[in-house]
Amino acid sequence: MARRSIGIVMNGVTGRMGYRQHLLRSILAIREQGGLPLADGDVLWPEPVLVGRREAKLRDLAERHGLTDWTTSLDEALARPGVEVYFDAQVTSARVEAIRTAVAAGKHVYTEKPIAEDLESALGLARLADAAGIKHGVVQDKLFLPGLLKLRRLIDGGFFGRILSVRGEFGYWVFEGDWQEAQRPSWNYRAEDGGGIILDMFCHWRYVLDAIAPVRSVQALGATHIPERVDEDGKPYEATADDAAYGIFELDGGIVAQINSSWTTRVFRDELVEFQVDGTEGSAVAGLRRCRVQHRSMTPKPVWNPDLPATEDFRSQWQEIPDNTVFDNGFKTQWEMFLRHVADDGAFPWDFYAGARGVQLAELGLRAWREGRRLDVPELAR
């Protein structure tokens, strides 16, 4: 058994997602477990090269984790010996140009979503990567949540019969930044910087819904409920991007999906995201970790009577789906799949075209909101 090193340029690791999920809980976690076993018996050892705009923060982050390779220059990082992979977790508006630079340098590319701010740019990156012969992938993390993995198990086992509908609720209250620090960066609320919940979350909802049945149409209403916020420096700014979205999606087979996405809602759910799938034979409610079901044979017969208080505990009438396995961090799981894809040609279906489909749905959602109408979702040509 030999240890093979692979250099990974990680751009944007000083941000919340880039640091917590991708560096700390994925790449460093792979190193802590002794590397990544490959099909030929070798072990792949990731060597991160940290890239960001703020030198002091990069230095502090590297020292905190015993890393020595960091720089504020992307060109310098890509020129490092042994670098094979470029990863991007920057703000969306900076992503396209950085990925083009990495592709030109001949590096395989793995990136956060959205891959671009518009469909034309997203497809341009996919075709550029294909022409360069490099491997490319996009983060689709919610597919690897324990709750959605359990939901996948139910779909594959035919639990639902004919699926009728999907209802999703996602969101929480993001503080305005005046008397409580905001939990999200200010650029998320500026359209000119690639912000907005439709561009962010519809990219997620595309791959979540496509895993149930292909999305064929979209209707959407966006809103900027909080028009002014306070940034990281304590300065008020105008929120020019949508902070809530209300979408209706038609899927193959007549399935209707409704998903509310909001950074301006207070949580009265068990988890920050929940999906209810209803079918002729049963229903399920899946969140980040939990999944509960109610089969047709166990469905109670509630009676509507507004004159009397409810006596049924509806939640207790559902059954919990057991874990039956150990679920690893979803970001780490997908990182391992992509690294095996690069190192020994393992399967990885979520390429730049999958990322472009997410951007397509977001773009159509924004257009449907502007035009106030339902829009079809056409197939994308490669």
- 259 and 178 in one domain? yes
One domain, residues 21 and 88: yes
Regarding whether 252 and 242 lie in a shared domain, the answer is yes
What 3-state class would DSSP assign to 258? Answer: strand
* Mean pLDDT, rounded, for 68-86: 96
Q: 8 and 30 share a domain? A: yes
On whether residue 378 sits in a domain, the answer given is no
Joined tokens for residue 348: 């990885």
Residue 225 to residue 115: CA distance in whole angstroms: 26
Q: pLDDT of 170-192, one tens digit each?
A: 999 999 999 999 999 999 999 99
Report yes or no on whether pTM surpasses 0.75.
yes
Q: Which of 224, 242, 243, 233 is nearest to 177 (CA)?
A: 233
* CA separation for the pair 211, 286 (Å, rounded): 14
Mean pLDDT of the chain: 96
Q: Are residues 69 and 137 in the same domain?
A: yes
Rg (CA), the chain: 22
SS3 call for 157: coil
Q: Assess whether 299 and 163 both reside in one domain.
A: yes
At 119 the pLDDT is: 97
104 and 195 together in one domain: no
Write the pLDDT tens digit of every residue in 210-224.
Answer: 999 999 999 999 999
Kindly report the backbone phi and psi dihedral angles of residue 320, in degrees, each rounded to the nearest multiple of 5, phi listed first.
-85, 135
Pick the more confident residue, 54 or 45: 45
Same domain as 57, residue 188: no
Domain housing 64: 3-141+330-347
Structure tokens at 86: 């470029």
Q: Tell me: do 137 and 147 sit in the same domain.
A: no
Q: pLDDT tens digits for 319-350? A: 999 999 999 999 999 999 999 999 999 899 99
Give CA–CA dist 241/174, Å, rounded: 14
pLDDT at 1 over 80: no
Q: Are 64 and 179 found together in one domain?
A: no
Alpha-carbon distance of 157 to 153, in angstroms, equals 6
- Does one domain contain both 46 and 169? no
| Residue 200 located in a structural domain | yes
Query: Domain tally for the chain?
Result: 2
Do 148 and 94 share a structural domain? Answer: no
| Average pLDDT value for residue range 45-68 | 94
In this structure, what CATH number is given to the domain that contains residue 235? 3.30.360.10
